[in-house]
Structure 1
Amino acid sequence: MASVVGLLEERELAARERVEELREVADRVLAELAEAETAWHEWLIARQRVGEVLSGPRPGQAGEAGPGAGESSGSEPATNAPAEVPLPRAARSGSIVPVWRPALSMDALAPHYQRILATLTEQASGGKPVMSCQEITAVLGLEPVPASVEGVRSKMKRLADRGWADEPTPGRFTLAAGPAGGS
């Protein structure tokens, strides 16, 4: 028959091995978390830089001569028309929600975001300017299960963070003044 002390030592050894395994897992997860946070911060900085570039003056405007100014391709006559800021192309499905600005229309958003904003616009014109995520989910014709409601909630939060929608009270959303103003 095994001794009590021997049984306790076996269990202590098993517990210590489990602790070591969990420490290794925790160290690996913390390292991955640090890498993910670094990547996230880099993307945040990149988005901020792009926003600065898009909102600032473009080279070739206000009297600056950009590269190739005055040159022509040979078959077309050179014109002195000022360069226009191109409007963003329509977004692809799964694309990032841009920060709203007057030059943007809903076409800059992915189709599912366009449907949500169209729903808010229709409901606002029908006398219901503020809606919950459950109501938006129902109007969109989605099944009112938690996964669908949470999907709509995350999209609404993203739209509100980027200036396309407002959240006057927690969990209730309305179309922002800018996009509703006619862009």
Structure 2
Amino acid sequence: MVTLPYFYRDEVEVGAMVSLPEELETREAAARQRVEELQAEAAELAVRLERARGDLSRLEITRETVAEVLAELSAAKTPVERDLPVEPVTGSEEASVPHGVGVMMVPPWREGLAVAVLPDVYRDIVEVVADAAGPLQAKQIVPRIGLPPTTGKIEGTRGKLKRLVERGWLEEDTPGQFTLARRGPGRDGPNSQ
């Protein structure tokens, strides 16, 4: 028989006579069960995280693909686009401007037409060119409009620059060097129109 030191005797005699090894086994079993529960939760969270990452990736790819398709469609000049009248957009009308297939997203520049009629990325490009001290290349514009300086983004921006030149917003006196059109927007300042 094991003799307990005097300071344990009162607890053992007063208590329900539970042995120390039994109490440790009970606590160990409870801890093991809690670990198994947490591992199951962690596994479930890992599965949910992977699903969410897959959803995010698909949405990012879809958004980029749609943007590329719309940019290509707006680059193609269709007879319908040439016949569309372009009216200046002001304040509350801005939200009702349609964007999409069959609608000219970058209208030809004309006197009184505000930069605000342009889609966001085109407006950003015009503003960057307007703020520049001299001609800019596509690779200089890309980081200034918040895009990574990858070949794809530079080429996409070059296409947008060419479209802005075709529509009279910018000029390309030297190949690859873009400036504001002399008669175009922002000659009095980038946001004056």
TM-score for both structures, normalised by structure 1: 0.50
Q: 1:109 to 1:92 in 2, by over 3 A?
A: farther
Q: Is the 8 A contact 2:161 2:178 kept in 1?
A: yes
Q: Residue 47 and residue 92 in structure 1: after superposition, are their counterparts in 2 closer, same or farther (change >3 A)?
A: closer
- Once residues 118 and 172 of structure 2 are traced to their aligned partners in structure 1, the CA distance between those partners, rounded to angstroms, is 19
1:93 CA drift (Å): 6.3
Number of aligned residue pairs: 105
Aligned twin of 1:98: 107
Structure 2: gaps of 5 or more residues: 1-73
Deviation at 1:155, TM superposition (A): 0.6
Between structure 1 and structure 2, the one with the greater Rg is 2
What is the SS of the residue equivalent to 1:103?
coil
Q: 1:45 to 1:136 in 2, by over 3 A?
A: same
The alignment partner of 2:147 has SS state of: coil
Contact kept, 8 Å, 2:99 with 2:105, in 1: the verdict is no
- Does residue 1:179 correspond to 2:179, yes or no? no
Going from structure 1 to structure 2, the CA distance change for 1:92 and 1:121 (only over 3 Å counts) comes to farther
Aligned CA RMSD, in angstroms, stands at 2.4
Deviations 1:19-43 (A, max 9, x none): xxxxxxxxxxxxxxxxxxxxx9xx6
The letter of the residue matching 1:141 is G
In structure 1, the residue matched to 2:125 is 116
Instruction: Give me the TM-score of the superposition, normalised by structure 2.
Output: 0.48
The secondary structure found in structure 1 opposite 2:173 is strand
Q: Determine if contact 2:171/2:179 at 8 Å carries over to the other structure.
A: yes
The one-letter code matched in structure 1 to 2:144 is V
- Whether the 8 Å CA contact 1:130–1:174 is kept in 2: the answer is yes
